[in-house]
A and B are shown apart, each in its own frame.
Chain A
């Protein structure tokens, strides 16, 4: 009985963490789909989201959920600003090797943001307040209310994002750009302007994930490294550019990680996602939703 409840507890944990990874991976997918670049500073937006939410709830004394929402807004605006300042050379033909340019810029940005956080917030780990106090008794298992609320907020943000992508003019235009940039320009769509919105949407999802997981793990300058790598794993195993892939891939990684912890050993927690990646790529080299476009 104890083994079963520990398994169920980990499974629930996996789903909760998975839904938050899903946010982060979806953010990476939106950026990749529209701008055709991989954002190597994604983990640092996760870190910034965690710090912003932590500072808002700690120093201003606001409710942590409000902290999360403000962190989403702040990372959205910051993402748009950074895209405008650093990534615009991608659009005119001044840069010859665009992929390399984007790689170097976002990688450099990642280093800058980590050191910025070190200088401003210090190297010490902070523990952010949980989104809610107490636990919820589900019969066999009990889960902390804070985690459940974090998962609910993550799911609400995910659904909101999917609504934007699939049901609004903005989202349809973003999908159009991702499928045929020239044709969308002919329609009068300003891909450059929408590119910064897409980057902002992508980074704010990383910010949201950091703000939601800050209370679960700890808040510190290099906290974004592992989640960033995991979101790369997720989008590759789900197929680069596929929205379905990002979401299902994240849930899969969350569950496999948690089950691995119970069934094998907690020491290898961060290895399980790579094992899954290797196994899936062996069978389906293009990933779970191979060949699909990013909005599916």
Chain B
């Protein structure tokens, strides 16, 4: 589905990714873990075109997408759930969902059909549809972000720290929703610090350190050695 080959990228002169290579298989939840500064979020930003890679290539469904602008990727069926709160706070919930439909806005009937679908899936959004998104709770904002990302029916979603800043109860709900997405056939590439909770939902895990992949295995395998893996990060 998505292949990242020998990618190098960073901010200005500071290089964060040093030849990163990994693959997100179709219909899998691929989890990226690693200590702070390993380049997990930087990788997602680079895949989505927010950072231009200096070297390497990114291929999505056989098509080279290296260096493509973020706004072009939505139309290709790639979504991105940012780590920080990213709802449009002064737009209503309905307007937020409409913005999710920007790439197919000409097809009005489909836009409203998708909005209704999201209201069915997340009833809280229907209740508050005319309220400003900024007034919702943290968990509700996260659900709105997910619903907004799902509007164009993406095939692949990059997920950056889905549980950041959320209560344990809401976190569980978010993981459940993400798990459902995978069941529906959506491929997920996820970064998460909350390893113990997220690994159970994952299929394949890459361990990143200092901008490179240091190990990879199925989730089941790594779950057994998790203690060792995490301890190794502390021996710098």
Total B residues in contact with A, Cβ cutoff 8 Å:
28
> Does B75 make an interface contact (CB < 8 A)?
yes
Residues of A with C-beta under 8 A to B89: 179, 293
Cβ contacts A173-207/B at 8 Å (1 or 0 each)? 10110011011111111110000000000000000
Residues of B with C-beta under 8 A to A187: 71, 74, 99-100, 102-103, 148
A296 to B99, CA, bound (A): 18
Residues of A with C-beta under 8 A to B82: 182-183, 186
Q: Nearest Cβ distance between residue B207 and chain A, in whole angstroms?
A: 27
Q: In the complex where A169-B98, A172-B98, A183-B82 touch, is A188 in contact with B90 (Cβ < 8 A)? A: no
> Does A295 make an interface contact (CB < 8 A)?
yes
Residues of A with C-beta under 8 A to B74: 186-188
Does the CB pair B90–A293 fall under 8 Å? yes
> Does B56 make an interface contact (CB < 8 A)?
no
Residues of B with C-beta under 8 A to A179: 88-91
Does the CB pair B90–A296 fall under 8 Å? yes
Q: Nearest Cβ distance between residue A97 and chain B, in whole angstroms?
A: 14
- Count, A-B residue pairs, CB within 8 A: 72
Which one of B71, B98, B100 lies within 8 Å of A191 (CB-CB)? B71
A169 to B101, CA, bound (A): 10
Q: Nearest Cβ distance between residue A245 and chain B, in whole angstroms?
A: 14
Q: Nearest Cβ distance between residue B82 and chain A, in whole angstroms?
A: 7
Chain B residue at minimum C-beta to C-beta distance from A293: B90
A185 to B75, CA, bound (A): 11
Does the CB pair A176–B99 fall under 8 Å? yes
Q: Nearest Cβ distance between residue B191 and chain A, in whole angstroms?
A: 16
Q: In the complex where A182-B82, A183-B82 touch, is A189 in contact with B99 (Cβ < 8 A)? A: yes
Q: Nearest Cβ distance between residue B99 and chain A, in whole angstroms?
A: 5
A sample of 30 inter-chain contacts (CB < 8 A) reads A172-B91, A175-B88, A175-B90, A176-B88, A176-B95, A180-B86, A180-B88, A182-B82, A183-B87, A185-B71, A186-B73, A186-B74, A186-B86, A186-B149, A187-B71, A187-B74, A187-B99, A187-B102, A187-B148, A188-B71, A188-B72, A188-B74, A188-B75, A188-B102, A188-B103, A188-B152, A190-B71, A191-B71, A295-B90, A296-B90
Q: Which residues of B contact A (CB under 8 A)?
A: 48, 50, 69-75, 79-80, 82, 86-91, 95, 98-100, 102-103, 105, 148-149, 152
Q: Which residues of A contact B (CB under 8 A)?
A: 169, 172-173, 175-176, 179-180, 182-191, 293, 295-296
| Shortest Cβ-Cβ A-B pairs, 9 listed | A188-B74, A188-B103, A185-B70, A183-B86, A293-B90, A188-B102, A179-B88, A190-B71, A187-B99
